[in-house]
Amino acid sequence: MEQIIQGVLLALHNIALVGCAAAPFYNRNLVKSRGQYGPKLSYKLDKVVEDTLQGNAPYCIFFIITLFVTGIGMPLNYYLFHETFREMHIVSTVALVVKLVFVFGMVIIMSMIFYKINPVLSKMFANFSDENKPDPVAEAGFFKLRARRKYLCEICLVFAIMVLISSAFLGFSIQ
């Protein structure tokens, strides 16, 4: 039973890991594709970009929560069956610390994007329309804030890759 529970937790954990890496990767590609049109508002295109980027927030939050729950669940599963925590190899210990640092970094970045930047972008975008040319100052501010979000997403992508890499080293065991 222990191995079945461990397998389910690990499968869910891996799915969440991939989701955490996929979101910034695909968001980055969308932003780069949009960037080829320059920092001038194209209402319909920019609406799709904003709806997509901001619509991904619940998925990212879900994946991060799943990472934490399954990440805590795996050692607790072992403890439940053995009444002790598994002894870890030094490589696994270092990998776990690295992974946690980058996961927490992702949480901080996502919080900044989802709770600070995205609401401001939504308010700014609500003042634009398909019929009217945008105010140049508002348009410049909108694209400046978008550039900030893009920069943070780039960092988040690197962090996600580091989480994936460090996860590969968690399997080292003491023999």
Q: Would you give the DSSP letter of residue 132?
A: S
pLDDT at 135: 92
Of 25, 21, 59, 22, nearest in space to 160 by CA: 21
pLDDT at 28: 85
What average pLDDT values come out for the chain (175 residues) when binned by 10 residues?
93 90 85 90 93 90 92 92 91 93 94 95 94 93 95 91 91 73
Q: How far is CA 90 from CA 122, 126, 170, in A?
A: 46, 52, 10
pLDDT at 113: 94
For the chain, report the end-to-end CA distance as a whole number of angstroms.
Answer: 23
pLDDT at 175: 59
Cβ neighbourhood burial of 158 (10 Å; 0-12, 13-18, 19+): middle
pTM given for the model: 0.86
